[in-house]
């Protein structure tokens, strides 16, 4: 088209924004950001939106954890020892942090199955994708189940309440229930989200377009929830 | 040319398919069209803003003419203060700028057919409406709405003795938490749309400044509202489950309460980590709107476009590291004050760049004193006056004696109350013809402008002096305080009279909005001869999908005004170079993406 040469920057930028003939590293980023249409080349809307949401959610968890650290410092009563509070007696043996270790292991493993599901989704292996996603969801559900067990034990057997507990500072219970509850809510939502996507994959809903990016987007959310748990685990149980 | 088309021309709705409205209900009520959602947001925000306006009248009556209205007692007064502040800042300005202007203008200005996820966008509005309803419901519960002040500082916010302690504070916090959810749904849409759904040729550096500013302020919102969400959740737990996040050991009414060991300062840090960016969430869109209005109505390209963009971004980043300048008298570590005073004064630099650039845009411009232009000019004057007093308050030693006086009230009302509202009015007069196809009445508009502009100066400028003589804010009754001279009362009565007049003048605006929608002068598609894409739509008001069969292609920046040789002195952004002659193409090279 004769017009093309006249278009100047508009088309020139669009051309350099093409996959293939692009620079890498910083130059690539500059090229992408000065392109038209998309700042993140080839990133679908849903994925961009999920990343931005996760950034926002990071600030929520960041505020929660910062607040937890602040009240832990500000309270005048000694903080309960997490190794003691979160210990289980199994077969006569008193093992500190055993339940939480299992829960962490399960959640981290579920990130592995999720990553495999994404891999098979892009190969359009629907059965394996669904299986792995449902496995991920099941691992997540068992995490929430164990969390429910932990809560029950703390509330019923040991008398921990949001407003007080027999071990020390009242803020221990308040921050614990608030932060693990908020995280558990995220896991529960993730389990439902993954299950729905898994069933839609199995039903072949994405075959028409062949676009399986939804699996990766769901995976982003799931990995984020796992990552947040690592911080909660470190700050709450190991400190 | 074919290889440049990455996903095809219809990329903008290729991923989801554009939802076609089928009935009256899906077209106007449960609409997923960004333009309808924008109007819904705007109407709701204005309606709830009118409540806040009436509350300010009642407050002014009490201050200007104490006890003239028998039903205003101390508790009521504090409730009015609280609800006025909260509604104006969050439910009116934030919702109107981002939900209203953002929703309407972003897709049109970047050449998209809609937001990227229209359904989520619709959900955002209905969730916002829910938060407004919860907020308004607090007027009708036992004990009334909360009277904790819009900052809701604990411990007093949830202790007996503060009005609304029974239900009001709970509804307020629940409403805020819902609002954050609503904002997040909308905000994710705005940011993703600007980043990933621009039309061909629309590079980031060709975006109109309105889009840049709304984009940046939405990012601020997505990062700042989490702090409000978290503090809201924690205070709710403190109030409902008697936890002690924010509550130290308190003896109230002679009894030691169940709370112990919490940190009230933590709330202030969380609140202002939200609260300060919030100032810029409502100020940045005003900057952007005013930049575009000035350029259009002065028929000149915006001075220093790139500098304007970087200033917006710099203000956005800096706004996250100045929050504790609201807390100089809170009892935090005094050394913090040094850091936060420094960052606060640094933020004046990009802000001053913007003001200079506006003035330089006007310099030797072909200034049309239309109603939108009048409001834009008034914005600059008001914003500069309010910003100057911010330099006073940003310094610790000056702030300490002025804290909690009317100087502070004057400062923030001018800089983040009146100034953004003037930009809102300017924007409404400017874009109303696109929304309805008709112009707002000019005479009514000019009366509205002069009463509002001069009136707000008459209200807030004297308040600086009241602050200097030590008149404290949030006091129900100042009589019998010997430190305050009698003349202060005269001034207060004057301010009240003006406030009543200015408030009443807003009825003219509402009348104008309604009357002009049916009887206004037909505007045509581009009454201001503006360059940006929203004025180039095939239909006015734009139809569903905005662009007819083909999305526009952008060839130039948004500010090609007074182009020599151009047939109408301006070149729209989608005007191809070869039809415009040499100067048009030259303008493109000079000011385009590079």
* pLDDT tens digits along B430-487: 999 999 999 999 999 999 999 999 999 999 999 999 999 999 999 998 888 888 888 8
Confidence bin at B236 (pLDDT 50/70/90): very high
- The pLDDT tens digits of the residues spanning B161-182 come to 899 999 999 999 999 999 999 9
Asked whether B116 and B189 are in contact (CB, 8 A), the reply is yes
Query: Average pLDDT over chain A, rounded to whole?
Result: 89
Confidence category of residue B18, pLDDT binned at 50, 70, 90: low
Residue A229 pLDDT grade (very low, low, confident, very high; cuts 50, 70, 90):
very high
Checking if the pLDDT of B45 tops 60, the result is yes
pLDDT of residue A92: 84
Q: Are B125 and B56 in contact, with CB atoms under 8 Å apart?
A: no
Query: Average pLDDT in the B539-547 region?
Result: 91
Cβ neighbours, 10 Å, residue B203: 23
Gyration radius from chain B CA atoms:
24
The pLDDT > 90 percentage for chain B reads 84
* A11 at interface of B, judged by CB pairs closer than 8 A: yes
Cβ contact, residue pair B262, A171, below 8 Å: yes
pLDDT digits over A114-135, tens only? Answer: 999 999 999 999 999 999 999 9
Give the minimum alpha-carbon distance from B266 to chain A in angstroms, rounded to a whole number. 7
Is the minimum CB–CB distance between A77 and chain B shorter than 8 Å? yes
So what's the pLDDT on residue A22?
60
DSSP B211-246: HHHHHHHHHHHHHHHHHHHHHHHHHHHHHHS---SS
pLDDT > 90? residue B372: yes
A4, A10, A60: best to mutate for the B interface, most B CBs within 10 A: A10
pLDDT for residue A24 is more than 90: no
pLDDT of residue B19: 62
Instruction: Give me chain B's average pLDDT, please.
Output: 91
* pLDDT for position A41: 87
Question: How much is the average pLDDT of B367-391?
Answer: 96
**A209 contact partners, CB below 8 Å, separation of at least 6:** none
- pLDDT for the residue numbered B9: 37
CA distance A52 to B306: 25
Residue of A nearest to B575 (CA): A7
Of A37, A52, A63, the CB nearest to B198: A37
Sign of CA dihedral B587, B201, B209, B514: positive
> Residue B479's pLDDT is what?
80
pLDDT over 90 at B566, yes or no: no
Query: Closest partner residue to B554 among A10, A34, A182, by Cβ?
Result: A10
Largest CA distance in chain A: 85
| Other beta carbons less than 10 A from residue A209's beta carbon | 10
Which pLDDT score, from 0 to 100, does residue B200 have? 94
Query: Looking at residue B2, what is its pLDDT?
Result: 34
- Using the predicted structure, report yes or no on whether residue A23 has a pLDDT greater than 80: no
The 10s digit of each residue's pLDDT in A51-76 is 999 999 999 999 999 999 999 998 98
Cα gap A155→A151, rounded to integer Å: 6
Inter-chain CB proximity A8 and B188 less than 8 Å: no
Contacts with B177 from chain A: Cβ below 8 Å: none
Query: Measuring CA to CA, which residue among A229, A88, A232 is closest to residue A153?
Result: A88
Confidence at B29, pLDDT banded by 50, 70, 90:
confident
* Average pLDDT of the residues in B555-570: 91
Residue A180 has pLDDT above 50, yes or no: yes
Looking at residue B309, what DSSP letter applies? H
- pLDDT the model gives residue B1: 32
Averaged over B215-225, what is the pLDDT?
Answer: 97
Which single residue is written with the structure tokens 């503090």? B231
ipTM surpassing 0.95: no
Cross-chain Cβ contact B205/A34 below 8 Å = yes
3-state secondary structure of B197: coil
Q: Which residue in B has a C-alpha nearest to residue A39's C-alpha?
A: B195
Facing B226 at nearest CB: one of A43, A60, A163: A60
Q: Does B430 touch chain A (CB under 8 A)?
A: no
Does A14 contact B at CB distance below 8 Å? yes
**DSSP-H helix ranges across A123-169:** 126-152
Residues B117, A45: C-beta atoms closer than 8 Å:
yes
Interface of A with B in 183-222 (CB under 8 A): none
What would the mean pLDDT of B321-344 be, rounded to a whole number? 92
Which of A 161-180 lie inside 8 A of B, CB atoms?
Answer: 162-163, 169-171, 173-175, 178
A21 touches B: beta carbon within 8 Å: no
Q: How far apart are CA A37 and CA A165, in angstroms?
A: 56
> What is the pLDDT at residue B17?
56
Distance from CA of A179 to the nearest CA of B (A): 10
Residues 6+ apart with CB under 8 A from B216: B284, B312, B313, B315, B316
A7:B227 CB<8 A: no
pLDDT for position B24: 78
Measure CB to CB from residue A174 to each of B245, B263, B593 and give the nearest one: B245
Contact A178 B234 (CB under 8 A): yes
**If pLDDT is split at 50, 70 and 90, which confidence band does B591 have?**
very low
Task: Please tell me which of A191-195, B478-482, B544-548 the model is most confident about, judged by mean pLDDT.
Answer: A191-195
Give the whole-angstrom CA distance, residue B361 versus residue B305: 10
pLDDT at B13 over 80: no
Place of tokens 């609503």: B182
Nearest Cβ partner of B202 from A7, A36, A53?
A: A36
pLDDT(A20) > 50: no
Encode A164-176: b = buried (16+ Cβ within 10 Å), e = exposed: bbebbbbbbbbbb
The pLDDT, as a whole number, for residue A64 is 97
Percent of chain B with pLDDT over 70: 93
Q: Does B241 touch chain A (CB under 8 A)?
A: yes
pLDDT tens, residue by residue, A133-156:
999 999 999 999 999 999 999 999
Query: Does residue B10 register a pLDDT over 80?
Result: no
From residue B97, how far is each of B136, B215, B286, B420 by CA, in Å?
Answer: 21, 11, 8, 9
Q: Do A71 and B262 touch (CB under 8 A)?
A: yes
The closest of B139, B143, B135 to B172, measured between CA atoms, is B135
Residue B4: closest CA among A60, A143, A20: A20
B369 has pLDDT over 80: yes
Chain A residues near residue B554 by CB distance under 8 angstroms: 10, 36
Chain A residues close to B594, C-beta within 8 Å: 9, 34
**Contact (CB, 8 A) for A116 and A132:** yes
pLDDT of B228 strictly over 50? yes
Q: What pTM, to 2 d.p., does this model score?
A: 0.92
Structural contact between residues B423 and B286, judged by C-beta atoms closer than 8 angstroms: yes
pLDDT tens per residue across span A67-109: 999 999 989 899 999 888 888 888 888 888 899 999 999 999 9
């Amino acid at each position: 088209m004769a017009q093309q040469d006249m278009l100047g920057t508009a088309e020139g930028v669009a051309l350099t924004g093409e996959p293939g003939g692009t620079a890498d590293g910083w130059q690539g980023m500059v090229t992408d950001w000065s392109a038209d249409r998309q700042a993140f080349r080839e990133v679908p809307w849903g994925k961009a939106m999920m990343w931005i949401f996760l950034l926002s959610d990071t600030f929520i968890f960041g505020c929660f954890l910062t607040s937890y650290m602040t009240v832990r410092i500000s309270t005048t009563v000694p903080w309960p020892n997490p190794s003691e509070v979160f210990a289980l007696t199994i077969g006569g043996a008193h093992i500190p942090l055993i339940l939480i270790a299992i829960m962490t292991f399960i959640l981290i493993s579920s990130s592995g199955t999720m990553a495999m599901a994404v891999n098979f989704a892009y190969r359009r292996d629907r059965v394996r994708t669904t299986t792995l996603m449902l496995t991920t969801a099941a691992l997540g559900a068992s995490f929430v189940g164990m969390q429910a067990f932990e809560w029950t034990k703390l509330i019923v057997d040991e008398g921990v309440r949001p407003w007080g507990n027999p071990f020390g500072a009242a803020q221990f219970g308040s921050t614990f229930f608030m932060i693990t509850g908020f995280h558990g809510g995220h896991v529960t939502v993730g389990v439902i989200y993954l299950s729905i996507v898994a069933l839609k994959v199995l039903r072949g809903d994405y075959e028409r377009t062949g676009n399986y990016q939804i699996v990766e987007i769901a995976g982003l959310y799931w990995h984020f929830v796992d990552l947040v748990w690592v911080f909660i685990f470190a700050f709450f149980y190991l400190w | 040319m074919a290889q440049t088309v990455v996903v095809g021309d219809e990329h903008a709705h290729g991923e989801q398919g554009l939802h076609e409205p089928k009935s009256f209900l899906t077209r106007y009520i449960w609409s997923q069209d960004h333009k309808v959602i924008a109007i819904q947001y705007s109407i709701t925000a204005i309606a709830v803003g009118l409540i806040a306006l009436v509350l300010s009248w009642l407050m002014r009556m009490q201050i200007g003419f104490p006890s003239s209205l028998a039903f205003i007692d101390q508790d009521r007064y504090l409730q009015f203060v609280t609800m006025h502040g909260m509604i104006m800042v969050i439910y009116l300005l934030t919702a109107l700028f981002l939900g209203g202007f953002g929703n309407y203008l972003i897709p049109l200005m970047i050449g998209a057919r809609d937001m990227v996820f229209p359904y989520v966008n619709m959900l955002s509005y209905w969730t916002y409406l829910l938060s407004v309803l919860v907020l308004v419901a607090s007027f009708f519960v036992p004990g009334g709405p909360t009277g904790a002040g819009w900052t809701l500082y604990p411990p007093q916010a949830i202790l007996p003795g503060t009005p609304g302690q029974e239900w009001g504070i709970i509804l307020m916090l629940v409403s805020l938490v819902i609002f954050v959810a609503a904002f997040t749904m909308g905000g994710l849409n705005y940011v993703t749309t600007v980043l990933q759904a621009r039309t061909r040729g629309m590079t980031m550096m060709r975006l109109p400044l309105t889009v840049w500013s709304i984009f940046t302020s939405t990012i601020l919102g997505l990062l700042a509202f989490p702090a409000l969400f978290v503090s809201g959740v924690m205070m709710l737990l403190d109030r409902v489950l008697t936890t002690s996040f924010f509550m130290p050991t308190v003896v109230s009414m002679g009894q030691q309460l169940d709370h112990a060991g919490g940190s009230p300062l933590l709330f202030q840090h969380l609140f202002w980590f939200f609260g300060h960016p919030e100032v810029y969430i409502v100020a940045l869109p005003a900057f952007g709107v005013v930049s575009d209005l000035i350029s259009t109505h002065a028929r000149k390209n915006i001075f220093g476009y790139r500098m304007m963009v970087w200033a917006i971004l710099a203000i956005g980043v800096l706004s996250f590291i100045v929050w504790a300048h609201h807390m100089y008298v809170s009892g935090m570590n005094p050394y913090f004050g040094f850091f936060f005073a420094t960052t606060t004064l640094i933020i004046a630099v990009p802000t001053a760049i913007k003001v200079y650039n506006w003035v330089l845009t006007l310099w030797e411009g072909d200034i049309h004193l239309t109603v939108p232009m009048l409001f834009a000019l008034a914005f600059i004057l008001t914003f500069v006056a309010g910003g100057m007093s911010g330099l006073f308050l940003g310094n610790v030693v000056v702030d300490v004696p002025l804290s909690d006086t009317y100087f502070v009230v004057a400062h923030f009302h001018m800089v983040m109350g009146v100034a953004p509202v003037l930009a809102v009015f300017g924007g409404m007069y400017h874009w109303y013809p696109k929304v309805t196809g008709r112009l707002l009445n000019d005479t009514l508009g000019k009366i509205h402008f002069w009463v509002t502009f001069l009136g707000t100066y008459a209200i807030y400028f004297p308040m600086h002096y009241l602050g200097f003589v030590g008149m404290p804010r949030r006091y129900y009754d100042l009589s019998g305080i010997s430190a305050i001279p009698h003349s202060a009362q005269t001034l207060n009565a004057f301010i009240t009279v003006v406030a009543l007049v200015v408030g009443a003048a807003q009825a003219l605006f509402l009348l104008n909005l309604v009357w002009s929608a049916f009887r206004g002068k037909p505007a045509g598609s581009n009454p201001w001869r503006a360059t940006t894409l929203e004025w180039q739509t095939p239909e006015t008001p734009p139809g569903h999908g905005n662009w007819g069969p083909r999305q526009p292609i952008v060839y130039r920046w948004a500010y090609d005004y007074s182009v020599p040789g151009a047939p109408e002195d301006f070149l729209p952004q989608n005007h191809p170079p070869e039809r415009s002659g040499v100067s048009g193409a030259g303008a493109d090279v000079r000011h385009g993406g590079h």
